[in-house]
Amino acid sequence: MERGPEAADVDLPTKYQPANVEGRLYERWVSAGYFGADAARRPDAPSYSIVIPPPNVTGSLHMGHALDHSIQDALVRRRRMQGYETLWVPGMDHAGIATQNVVERELAKEGLSRHDLGREAFVDRVWKWKAESGGRILGQMRRLGDSVDWSREAFTMDDRRARAVRTIFKRLFDDGLIYRAERIINWCPRCLTALSDIEVEHAEREGELVSIRYSDDLVVATTRAETMLGDTAVAVHPDDDRYKHLVGTEVELPLTGRRIPIVADEHVDPAFGTGAVKVTPAHDPNDFEIGRRHDLPSLSVMDERGVITAPGPFQGLDRFEARPAVVAALREDGRIVKEVRPYLHAVGHCQRCQTVVEPRVSLQWFVKVAPLARAAGDAVRDGRTAIHPPEMAPRYFEWVDNMHDWCISRQLWWGHRIPVWYGPDGEVVCPGPDEEAPAGWTRDPDVLDTWFSSALWPFSTLGWPEEGADLARFYPTSVLVTGYDILFFWVARMMMFGLYAMDGVVPFEAIALHGMVRDQNGKKMSKSFGNVVDPLDWIDRYGADATRFTLLRGANPGGDVPVAEDWAQGSRNFCNKLFNATRFALMNGAHVRGDLPAELTTVDAWILSRLQTVVADVDGYLESYEFAKACETLYHFAWDEVCDWYVELSKVQLNDHRADATRRVLGEVLDTLLRMLHPVIPFVTEELWTTLTGAETVVTAAWPAVDGARADKAAEATVESLQRLVTEVRRFRADQGLKAGQRVAAALEWGDSPLVAHEEAVRSLLRLTVPAEGFTATASLPVEGAVVRLDTAGAIDVAAERKRLEKDLAAARKDAAQTRGKLGNEAFMAKAPEAVVAKNRGRLAQAEADIARLESQLAALPAG
């Protein structure tokens, strides 16, 4: 590390070690209360609030979480620095099915089931598990640097959220928007509970398509032969001439002896298969609707575990055992028209346990979503809530405009129990949270879908249903940050309940959607692929800052984010580069005391001018959630312009009369740069900024503002010219195999070039010594209006350099000839737009300049 003549003692280690910094700084931030929000504080300050998408209590930090939290933290930290009263609410979701499964597996190790404990004892056991083992992710959020207000930590099953659930259920019930009915629902035979549509994952699976003859005139095809035992009709299209004569008649159902009707229904596609379909209302959602239209009975032939209950030879078989058995029986009966053949189709699986879902008629509780979904769509259409990026809005509308009634009951013990009681004569009552149920009445045994309570998150975490200061100050929340993959799971439900509970006020003003984290080849991360990356592993090896920067540098609105370990290493190197540059500056007296100098050198004016452009660009990118562009801008400014150019140029100025001014400018640049980087890489910036400024923390420091008076295009042009000169000579040196630090004698002929004032800097950057008496140049480079004559005798391969220059000259001459030909072509000049003509003229001028430069360089080479 170079030290200037007035180097100072610096309270920074020689090497940055994230593990020695991050935990210490985070605990200091929390203890100091920097992340706390106060609704009564600074009433004139603008407010900014985010509720964290609550991770499951069973979960641990994965790359998707790390991306989501890094985005939210960057937004919150920037707004905090901008003077907003900021609130970022942490918390967890009780994850009904997942959590119950975890605890049931623990019980199984003890040879017990939940039924052995009973409901009350089992729920107590789950709460005990939550206290001892749940919520690991909250500690992992600290590792990442989440600046949440920990004093407001919420849980979807805590007392305040329970009160909110009871309140909104009662209101929906009284308004006729919650009802109980027998409907066909998604059922998990493993979890033994109903599932909503969004809890079912569909995947392409190869099944077996069987064609079965029901009569001489009717053949149907199915992939689920076992369900034919529950058929209650065969349906055809009313306009299908092949079957019009059969509509209204009956056919005997094979293997059963039952007779079932043939009905006409427009749902049937006459072009698909034979145009005749079996109707099993109890085991298929489309068939269920056909059954309702034609008043068909629903005959269930399976129990809750997917075991056949229909009397006969298949009774007691699992559904997947029954399928080949039924096909074999049909074949024996001569009913198989075509042999079984492979058939690729979408099969629904339980999101939690991946068991194949079974459609099943069941008595369940539903939310009537039509009016709620309509309001949720209108809120986005009229601009009350904006979706970023806008091209994601059609996907939102497709969901809310076609939403089915939401099945909200779950056959679990862990969750918010449905607040409905039944009387001895079938009476039903839904008391509010402050009302008692009638004595002796029976409470509904089911619990609510987990998404029901999390749909209240934006306002239940602010104290609703009470009208308190938090709700008044921080609702609606400013932005919801979430992956596009749960746009339907959660976002639509929060919109519906927020608008309903808060009298038409949206739950968030903006929805910022990001993509999924993928590997460097764009492949989805999966354990089966062996490409899953643990963010905690990266944090351990490279630091939280490097992990965050890697993710945010790839975060474009709505786009997937590829990551690779070498990118994390590059982010760590960036943090180290920043650390080393700041340490150098401090060792050489950089500071932020007093005003900037009135008189600036061209180099100092250039970096301050560039700094203003960067501040403006980064501000714009962050406002539009374009984190990748913001990070890329900051990265290149910090590495390329500050570290690689300004720090190097400042070394010359720090050794002469310009030192005091340069120390102040160097301090200013680093002060502003570290503040801009803080929302993205909070730990290293805190360590460096507090050392540089002596202030308490950068967490609450002012966000940089653009100072238009610092714009200096003339200084920028001069330094850009200097950079081109240095880059060209460096390229020449590299081509000749000269080491970067090798000193070479050179004469500099400036002519009228304004760069003459920067000769000392040019010599320093290029390792050029002042030639001694008798100097003879062996190479000459005309560049930027100057000529650099170097004595490279014995240091360069003259033949190789001549060959390179001749190759470049031939390419330049060819380019000039082609462009000159275009401009001399009357037909081209008559048809080409003026912009194209101007571009070609510029290209010709550049080619001619290159020719002159290369010819001069060739002429300057030694003979031989």
- Residue list, annotated binding site: 527
For residue 800, count other CB atoms closer than 10 A to its CB.
12
Question: Would you tell me the crossing angle of helices 544-552 and 682-693 to the nearest 10 degrees?
Answer: 120
CA angle 684, 84, 627 (to 5 degrees): 50
Both tokens assigned to 716: 């920028």
Both tokens assigned to 773: 């008496």
Residue 54 preceded by cis peptide, ω within 30:
no
The torsion of the CA quartet 450, 456, 460, 464, rounded to 10 degrees, works out to -130
Distance between CA atoms of 270 and 250, rounded to whole angstroms? 20
* Partners of 263 in the β-ladder: 235
Closest of 570, 727, 703 to residue 644, by C-alpha: 727
**Sign, Cα dihedral of 605, 609, 612, 614:** negative
Distance between CA atoms of 705 and 693, rounded to whole angstroms? 18
Distance between CA atoms of 308 and 52, rounded to whole angstroms? 44
Question: What phi and psi values does residue 348 have, to the nearest 5 degrees?
Answer: -80, 140
Both tokens assigned to 649: 């140029």
> Is the CB of residue 142 less than 8 Å from the CB of residue 328?
no
Distance between CA atoms of 349 and 202, rounded to whole angstroms? 6
3-class secondary-structure state, position 156: coil
Both tokens assigned to 333: 């009966």
For residue 248, count other CB atoms closer than 10 A to its CB.
10
DSSP label at residue 145:
T
Residue for token digits 């899953």? 532
Residue 562 preceded by cis peptide, ω within 30:
no
**Sign, Cα dihedral of 728, 734, 737, 741:** positive
The torsion of the CA quartet 446, 450, 452, 456, rounded to 10 degrees, works out to 140
Distance between CA atoms of 579 and 794, rounded to whole angstroms? 39
C-alpha separations of 477 from 164, 201, 508, 523 in Å: 18, 30, 5, 34
> Is the CB of residue 561 less than 8 Å from the CB of residue 68?
no
Task: Please give the annotated binding residues for ATP, written as ranges.
Answer: 527
Closest of 688, 678, 660, 677 to residue 593, by C-alpha: 660
Both tokens assigned to 603: 């180099």
DSSP label at residue 197:
G
Query: What is the Cα gyration radius of the chain?
Result: 36
Residue 389 preceded by cis peptide, ω within 30:
yes
Distance between CA atoms of 165 and 453, rounded to whole angstroms? 6
> Is the CB of residue 601 less than 8 Å from the CB of residue 654?
no
Side chain identity at residue 328, one-letter code? A
CA angle 161, 167, 168 (to 5 degrees): 95
> Is the CB of residue 585 less than 8 Å from the CB of residue 575?
no
3-class secondary-structure state, position 363: strand
Distance between CA atoms of 219 and 470, rounded to whole angstroms? 65
> Is the CB of residue 223 less than 8 Å from the CB of residue 273?
no
Closest of 498, 501, 689 to residue 592, by C-alpha: 689
